[in-house]
Amino acid sequence: MDMRSFWRTLDRGTLRDIALVCLADMLVGASFGAIAVSGGLPLWVPVAMSLLVFAGGAQFAAVGVVLAGGGPAAGVVAGLVLNARLLPFGFAVADVLGDRWWTRLLGAHVMTDESVAFALRQRDRRRRHDVFWTCGLALFAAWNVAVVLGALAGEVIGDTGALGLDAAFPAVLLALVLPSLTDPGTRNAALLGAVVAVATTPFLPAGLPVLLSLAGLVLAARPPATAAKTDSIPESP
């Protein structure tokens, strides 16, 4: 893969947005490394997780379970449940992962919410391909560098929660989603999913409310009412 050929097909605005997302995720990655090490885990644990798992939400969930007293198995289950959302993402961007087994494996590994969101904003397949790989590989590099730096600083930082760095992750996702909410069908589906997630959060383990929020897709799958009415009107002779 030639990253230079990717960049030549992308406009400056897209590259700027990817760079900003990388910067925000570096803050989250540094927070993850610092929280993990300051919580008592050895430095190699967050570093290895970032290289082998590369899933910010799942990493936070797994480390949170372990630091709260849960076993490694419980941490793995928490991460798997949270990462289950990536399964439909894989189908959505399957056309940009390539035909070779190793490109599909690598693409699945660097797949994130942000890389999928950037790719789905593009109408041209070539641009979807270039945006997905540019964002995915850039985020992988930025995240792992930040985790190492955060882990090294973990023993120095006292109260990592006081920094509020974890707030950058949902803020980035919200910024990526906002342009799609101009469509009424998408907006209604997102609202229903949000209601389901918030309502079930007090009663279910972490990760499950996110999966249940996919119920909002029921509204997105319904045909527009105007189209249905138009189809029902007989043509004039």
In the chain, the number of structural domains is 1
In a domain, 107, yes or no: yes
In a domain, 14, yes or no: yes
Hey, what are 156's tokens?
């120095």
In a domain, 9, yes or no: yes
Hey, what are 230's tokens?
């138009």
Contact 108, 90 (CB under 8 A): yes
pLDDT, residue 234, reads: 46
- Give, in order, the Cα–Cα distances in Å from 94 to each of 113, 119, 210, 214: 14, 11, 22, 20
In a domain, 231, yes or no: no
Higher-confidence residue of 144 and 153: namely 144
In a domain, 130, yes or no: yes
In a domain, 141, yes or no: yes
Whether the predicted model's global pTM rises above the 0.85 cut: no
Higher-confidence residue of 24 and 213: namely 24
Query: Around Cβ 159, how many Cβ atoms within 10 Å?
Result: 7
pLDDT, residue 219, reads: 61
- Which residue reads 């372990």 in tokens? 66
Higher-confidence residue of 178 and 66: namely 66
CB proximity list for 145: less than 8 A, separation 6 or greater: 26, 29
Highest mean pLDDT among 19-23, 199-203, 219-223: 19-23
In a domain, 88, yes or no: yes
In a domain, 82, yes or no: yes
Higher-confidence residue of 155 and 108: namely 108
User: Residue 68's domain spans which residues?
Assistant: 3-164
Confidence of residue 38 (pLDDT cuts 50, 70, 90): confident
Burial class of residue 147 in the structure, from the number of CB atoms within 10 Å of its CB (0-12 exposed, 13-18 middle, 19+ buried): buried
